[in-house]
């Protein structure tokens, strides 16, 4: 999210210092999965509309960056298949099919949530055993290579005119318009966009009066990458929290665990082996695929799971840009624009529930 903010600042000609505690793009965004999953097409609201438009505009953002850098983000609107094991799920899917016709539209483009009887791709993608009542074919879902996209952003930023990069040096605290860094130096800023993943929460909590509960927490996730005879055109598969995301080069990412409690944030264990085993049952083509990487990271989960963006009520020069939890990749570019809007005093166009001030109100009220 911070890389997108720096890129948007560069395009606006804003003099920017990009400070990262580690090497760039090695946090949660340096992972494997890259699923760009829309919210369900039912119960439409401003949050779903914002995400829908963001997922759509990411196409153009990626194309522009690919043209600028000559690199690939591994982006593709592959669609998604969701098996329906039970008949009542088919009834719900058919309702959603009608709702998608209304809600998944923009200009002359529209996307489907079609209830179908069998996979058009045969018994290997997915196994018919889990699709007793058919499947959903969602034509809106897409995927991107997390490292492809972040690598492209980093390369573009290393050539930026208005952005200077400092790596291996974290922000330890912020007071007024001064940030104290881990190397003992201080930086005075006009505005500070705070986009430190889950580490943003404690830094933001320091800026105002004590809260009744934390603004957010890290949630560990484990994922794996498999290589085999996997067509990059295949749609994503999703069943009961298990994602299979085909990528370029015969690769498919498998994920993810969701762990509120953990001893080691970056180790992998039997939980990812269970997911790999489930993936091989769901998509038999993976039986002969080999695991080439296992990976774990910490997602930034804000108090109510929504993104946390905008000026701090007690220090408007500090602008949050965090809390994307499980959907950051599809929205980071748009949320970064909102953060820059706060810097430039432009009116907010995102849902009020995404604002840092709303999260703080909740954290103040609820013990
Ligand atoms: C297993 C797994 C699977 C996932 N799958 C998906 C998916 O399919 N689709 C999707 O959209 N999302 C997915 N996510 C979520 C997504 O990866 C995260 O929400 C997203 O990467 C968060 O981005 P971020 O920029 O907020 O944080 P990060 O990527 O963690 O970046 C934070 C940066 O801040 C730096 N930093 C930390 N502290 C400081 C400090 N004090 N000072 C300066 N710099 C600091 C870090 O070094 C890091 O570079 C997944 C996450 C996990 C763990």
What is the distance, to the nearest Å, from the Cα of residue 151 to the centroid of all Cα atoms in its chain? 15
138 pairs with which residues across the strands?
80, 113
Give 297 Cα–ligand 1 centroid separation in angstroms: 8
CB 267 within 8 A of CB 328: no
Asked if residue 126 belongs to a domain, the reply is: yes
pLDDT of residue 304: 84
Residue 274 lies in a domain: yes
- Specify if 279 maps to a domain: yes
User: How many whole angstroms from 236 Cα to the centroid of ligand 1?
Assistant: 22
Give the domain-ending residue among 249, 280, 301.
301
Do 155 and 208 fall into the same domain?
Answer: yes
Shared domain for 190 and 286, answered yes or no, is: no
Q: Which atom of ligand 1 is nearest to the CA of 171?
A: 42
For residues 224 and 138, membership in a common domain is answered with yes
pLDDT tens-digit readout, 152-172:
999 999 999 999 999 999 999
Do 118 and 82 belong to one domain? Answer: yes
Q: Taking each helix axis as running N to C, give the angle between helix 2-11 and helix 146-158, from 0 to 180 degrees, rounded to the nearest 10.
A: 40
Helix (H, G, I), strand (E, B) or coil at 173: strand
Instruction: For residue 117, give its domain range.
Output: 77-144+217-301
137 neighbors 235 (Cβ within 8 angstroms) = yes
Residue ending a domain, among 247, 269, 301, is 301
Token readout for 235 is: 């749609």
Q: Over its length of 367 residues, how does the chain's per-residue pLDDT go in tens digits?
A: 999 999 999 999 999 999 999 999 999 999 999 999 999 999 999 999 999 999 999 999 999 999 999 999 999 999 999 999 999 999 999 999 999 999 999 999 999 999 999 999 999 999 999 999 999 999 999 999 999 999 999 999 999 999 999 999 999 999 999 999 999 999 999 999 999 999 999 999 999 999 999 999 999 999 999 999 999 999 999 999 999 999 999 999 999 999 999 999 999 999 999 999 999 999 999 999 999 999 999 999 999 899 999 999 999 999 999 999 999 999 999 999 999 999 999 999 999 999 999 999 999 986 5
Ligand 1 in contact with 37 (CB < 6 A)?
no
114 and 228 within one domain: yes
Residue at 57 is within a domain? no
**Residue ending a domain, choose from 258, 278, 301:** 301
Q: Which pLDDT belongs to residue 366?
A: 64
Give the number of domains in the chain.
2
Residues 137 and 242 occupy one common structural domain = yes
Which three-class secondary structure state does DSSP give residue 316?
Answer: strand
Question: What mean pLDDT is reported for the chain?
Answer: 97
Question: For residue 126, is the peptide bond before it cis, meaning its omega torsion is within 30 degrees of 0?
Answer: yes
CATH code for position 203: 3.50.50.60
- Is residue 104 helix, strand or coil? coil
Question: Ligand 1 test: best mutation among 26, 38, 196, 336, most atoms within 8 Å of CB?
Answer: 196
* 97 and 222 in a common domain: yes
Pair (295, 152) in one structural domain:
no
Residues 90 and 233 placed together within one structural domain of the fold:
yes
Residues 264 and 289 in one domain: yes
Residues 139 and 268 occupy one common structural domain: yes
Query: Could you tell me the CA-to-CA distances from 111 to 57, 287, 299 in Å, in that order?
Result: 14, 32, 29
Residue nearest to atom 38 of ligand 1 (CA): 196
Residue 252 has phi, psi (to 5 degrees) of: -140, 130
Residue that the structure tokens 């929460």 belong to? 201
Looking at residue 140, which CATH number applies to its domain?
Answer: 3.30.9.10
Q: With respect to residue 35, please indicate whether it lies within any of the assigned structural domains.
A: no
């Amino acid at each position: 999210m911070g890389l997108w903010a720096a890129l948007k600042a560069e395009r606006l000609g804003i003099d920017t210092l990009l400070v990262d505690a580690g090497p760039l793009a090695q946090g949660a965004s340096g992972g494997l999965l890259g699923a760009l999953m829309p919210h369900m097409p039912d119960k439409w609201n401003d949050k779903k509309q914002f995400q829908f438009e963001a997922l759509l505009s990411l196409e153009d953002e990626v194309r522009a960056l690919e043209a600028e850098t000559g690199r690939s983000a591994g982006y593709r609107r592959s669609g998604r298949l969701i098996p329906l094991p039970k008949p009542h799920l088919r009834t719900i899917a058919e309702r959603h099919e009608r709702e998608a016709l209304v809600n998944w539209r923009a200009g002359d483009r529209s996307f489907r949530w079609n209830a179908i009887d069998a996979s058009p791709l045969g018994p290997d993608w997915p196994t018919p055993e889990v699709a007793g009542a058919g499947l959903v074919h969602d034509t809106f879902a897409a995927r991107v290579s997390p490292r492809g996209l972040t690598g492209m952003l980093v390369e573009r930023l290393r050539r930026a005119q208005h952005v200077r990069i400092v790596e291996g040096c974290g922000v330890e605290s912020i007071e007024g318009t001064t940030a104290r860094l881990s190397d003992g130096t201080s930086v005075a800023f006009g505005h500070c966009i705070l986009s430190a993943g889950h580490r943003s929460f404690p830094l933001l909590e320091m800026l105002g009066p004590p809260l009744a509960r934390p603004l957010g927490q890290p949630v560990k996730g484990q994922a794996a990458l498999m290589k085999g005879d996997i067509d990059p055109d295949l749609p994503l598969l999703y069943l009961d929290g298990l994602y299979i995301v085909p990528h370029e080069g015969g690769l498919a990412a498998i994920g993810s665990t969701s762990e509120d409690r953990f001893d080691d944030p970056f180790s992998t264990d039997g939980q990812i082996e269970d997911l790999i085993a489930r993936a091989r049952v769901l998509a038999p083509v993976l039986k002969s695929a080999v695991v080439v990487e296992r990976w774990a990271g910490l997602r930034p989960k804000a108090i109510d799971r929504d993104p946390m963006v905008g000026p701090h009520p007690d220090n408007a020069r500090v602008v949050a840009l965090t809390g994307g939890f499980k959907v950051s990749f599809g929205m980071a570019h748009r949320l970064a624009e909102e953060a820059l809007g706060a810097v430039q005093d432009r009116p907010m166009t995102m849902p009020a529930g995404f604002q840092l001030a709303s999260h703080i109100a909740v954290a103040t009220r609820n013990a």
